[in-house]
Amino acid sequence: MSSSPFLILLNNVALLLAMGALYDAFSLSGSQHSLRNKIVTGICAGLIGIGLMSIPLASVTGVIIDARSILLSVTGLFFGIIPTVIAVVMTVAFRIIEGGQGTVAGITVILTSATAGLVYRGWTAEKYTSLPWVNIYLFGVVVHVLMLVGLLLVPSSVVWQVMRDIVLPVLLIFPFATVLLGILLSHQIQRIAAEKALRKSQNESELSRQSLEATLAAIPDPLFEMDIHGRYLDCHVSHSEELKLPIDHIIGKSVFEVLPYKAAQLVVEALSEANLKGISHGYVMKMPSDEGDRQFELSVARKDLKDEVLPHFVVVARDMTDRKKAEQELHIAATAFNSQEGMLITDKDYRILRVNSAFTRVTGYEPEEVLGKTPAVLRSGKHESDFYNRMKTALYEDKYWQGEIWNKRKNGELYPQFLTITAVQSDSGEITNFVGSFTDITQRKLDEEHIHKLAYYDPLTALPNRRSLQERLENALNSCKRTEQLGAVVFIDLDNFKNLNDTKGHNTGDQLLILVAGRLVQCVRNADMVARLGGDEFVVVLENLGAEEELAIDTVRRIVEKINMSLSFPFAIGKDNYLTSCSAGVTLFGRDELVDDVMKRSDMAMYQAKSSGKNTYQIFDPDSHMSLFSRAALEVELRKALPLNQFQLFYQVQYRGDQIIGAEVLLRWIHPERGVISPAEFIPLAEDTGLIIPIGEWVLNEACKQLKKWQASPETDQLTLAVNVSARQFAQEHFVGDVQDCIDRNGIKGGQLKIELTESMVLLDIEDTIAKMSQLKLKGVRFSLDDFGTGYSSLLHLKRLPLNQLKIDHSFIRDIMIDSDDAEIVQTIVSMGHTLRLNVIAEGVETKEQQQFLAHCGCDCYQGYLFGRPMPLDEFEQKFFPELVQSSEIA
């Protein structure tokens, strides 16, 4: 071959496209559907095919390759059977005349290509002029694959040489050439069809046009005539300013050139539906404008044309923007009217014209029962006529009234409403209607009452609470200024209430408080007040006791004694009876006093009563104020003790037989001015103020630090340290985590730390106690039950607790040699502990005889003055581990 197959085939394609353009100029004028034009079209296609075969690619003698497959497949696709048959006959005849060993294969290619075009034309169903280029490309690929299959009919001696030379050029060039020719012819056919339609439209009679113009003039909406592809053929508008472009700039253009893409796409979809169904409607497109988007509803109808041309359509674009807005406003109004608020509309004479469903739900009246009547049917009778006269005056003067009102339901039930009435005025300012909206505020009133009770009353006993008491006392003190009458406050605290709560549970304690509140109310006068401050504390306010102090005190004494007598009788709770008593503090008040001062005096008097042995009352004594002042001063010093490092740990040794097993750490407060302050004095204060929590954390951390030091020496690496934990510290949610962090931070063995808990502490919340102890047991921490025998532990609770040790209280050890009851108790405790597989330690062992008796009972461990007093760390180590001290001095 002298030239590349690619260049030769490209020349074929170029010639084909050029011939296609000439074909457009000479053979497609007029109607493509006429027989004459079909014959001319077939002859032209045949001549082009012969021309292509005259300059083929001939890589093998007798086998010619050209672009006739493109020509014939496109002819079949775009021009139908008659032109295709003529072109096939002409090209087959020429191929036979040419002859050669590829004749059969060439004829096969001609027939296959033409048949493929006709089949695809039938499959596309009149849409062949608007096929996307991708579809035409795929069609070209199929045609030329079939062409290559047809070439297999070439004699076997040359078939593979032919295939080798042409497969790649054919598959790369011919499908794209098919696309180019197809698009060219598609555009030519569409243009010619549009031009013909336009010419035909322009040739309509003038009379018909005038009739149509008259009809169109009566249509307010823009009206267009379009073809199936969305090309504007004609246009009519009542007002030319409705269009963004002049009419002559629109005719002949596609909707995609005039409208936004989405709007144009909707128009084409509507045209397609109208083409299938004859008519389409319901398509709504949005068009931007200076006032915002406007909405147009499209109505499309297909025109029936006699000639076989592209179908035409009449398109009406109705501007529905204002209608949609009106519909939306009506919908909003209807939704508002049928809201959750009751609504009614009356005329100017108050006759009801309309009510909503919420009105029926709230009042119980159906619409037909109230229409034509006035709202007077709803009146409750709780308001005087002046109330309604003021309402009417406000409506006529202010055109508005709002407020709370009581009305009556159909069933006779009265209920509160929050009502709003608005007058509706005409353009002249005359009132034409009234619109009322209301809500049932029954629940709101109940909620307000509930909130008031929560704010001013105790939820358990229903007595006034601290806030209510504060207001009552302020009013009583103001009354004293006017009347000069004395009053009194009685501060009441139940005795031993905590024990009942701890042993019988909070539910039993709550029941007792309710019964106590009832008895207190019965003991005072109707004008007096009984309030609950919280817990087991109650306050009684007595007023109008006279101007004489002695007479006032006598009256108070009688009331307080009556209270004590009333509370001394048993309280029946469930199947059991419970006894209680109270301690009361009394103080008188007069004019020029403050509420806080009065409450403080009664509180101090109550503490005096507690100190006197409980079950009594005390009238405020100024001397007691000094005692409380000292307590407050001690609290101030206590708050500074920890930051100033005034606390020190003392150690008391613990023995098993003659072997030291560890010690108990005991807290001491070394005050720089007051010296050593007794734990009995500052520990209760720390408990009351909450300072025991940071103090307890400090003690625990210091103990762990010391254990870490002892672990470094073989003489002390097995020692344990017992640390007392307060109830408030143990109750903290983060207590377990704090202990675990302390162990990890100091790097000690958990088994060397022993936590001592009291019986009353573990019973506060037995389940929580067990959970916390169990978590710490996993860390190795041991537990000792301190002061055992003085509390109220049951065997049921005792066996559930994950204890390691019972600690016999020193009060049983002190008289063990002279009191048989104490001796039996100790023996029982030791036996019980061993039965529960617990270690038993006795504290307060001071004599050898006591130690021998305990050993005889089987007691495991000992602690007391017999073995060593509590002492500072350096003394403790010097006495019990002198070699440890010596080694540290040498180091």
- On whether the CB atoms of residues 309 and 196 are closer than 8 A, the answer is yes
How far apart CA 584 and CA 563 sit, in angstroms, is 10
Please tell me whether the overall predicted TM-score, pTM, comes out greater than 0.75 for this model: no
How far apart CA 725 and CA 742 sit, in angstroms, is 14
Taking only Cα atoms into account, the Rg of the chain, rounded to an integer number of angstroms, comes to 55
Q: For the beta carbon of residue 21, count every other beta carbon within 10 angstroms.
A: 10
Host H or E run for residue 646: none
HSE value, Cβ hemisphere, 13 Å, CA-based, for 539: 25
DSSP conformation class of 130: G
Reported in sequence order, the residue ranges of 593-719 that DSSP labels E, i.e. its strands, are: 617-619, 647-656, 659-671, 675-677
At residue 60, what is the residue type? V
Residue 87 class from Cβ within 10 Å (0-12 exposed, 13-18 middle, 19+ buried)? buried
**Per-residue pLDDT at 307:** 58
Host H or E run for residue 48: helix 35-54
How far apart CA 157 and CA 669 sit, in angstroms, is 119
How far apart CA 214 and CA 207 sit, in angstroms, is 11
Ranges of the chain whose pLDDT falls below 50: 1-2, 22, 25-31, 205
Residue 648 class from Cβ within 10 Å (0-12 exposed, 13-18 middle, 19+ buried)? middle
As given in the structure block, the two tokens for residue 690 are 């909450």
* Phi-psi map region of 553: left, alpha, beta (phi>0 left; psi -120 to 50 alpha): alpha
Host H or E run for residue 490: strand 487-494
**Per-residue pLDDT at 57:** 65
Q: For the beta carbon of residue 327, count every other beta carbon within 10 angstroms.
A: 11
- On whether the CB atoms of residues 314 and 301 are closer than 8 A, the answer is yes
DSSP conformation class of 251: T
- Report CA-CA distances (Å) from 123 to 76, 177, 309, 551: 12, 22, 20, 120
Nearest 5 degrees, angle CA 808-CA 811-CA 816?
Answer: 85
Give the largest CA-CA distance in the chain.
152
Measure CA 683 to chain center: 47
As given in the structure block, the two tokens for residue 114 are 């033409």
Location of structure tokens 């509507």: 270
Of residues 420, 396, 877, 378, the one with CA closest to residue 660: 877
Cβ density class 400-414: b for 16+ within 10 Å, e for less? ebeeebebbeeeeee
How far apart CA 813 and CA 842 sit, in angstroms, is 8
- On whether the CB atoms of residues 302 and 225 are closer than 8 A, the answer is no
Q: For the beta carbon of residue 15, count every other beta carbon within 10 angstroms.
A: 17
Using DSSP's 3-state secondary structure scheme, residue 873 falls into: helix
Contacts of residue 717, Cβ cutoff 8 Å, sequence gap at least 6: 710, 711
- Report CA-CA distances (Å) from 554 to 455, 582, 589, 607, 609: 34, 20, 15, 21, 18
As given in the structure block, the two tokens for residue 309 are 């041309």
Host H or E run for residue 230: none
* Phi-psi map region of 542: left, alpha, beta (phi>0 left; psi -120 to 50 alpha): beta
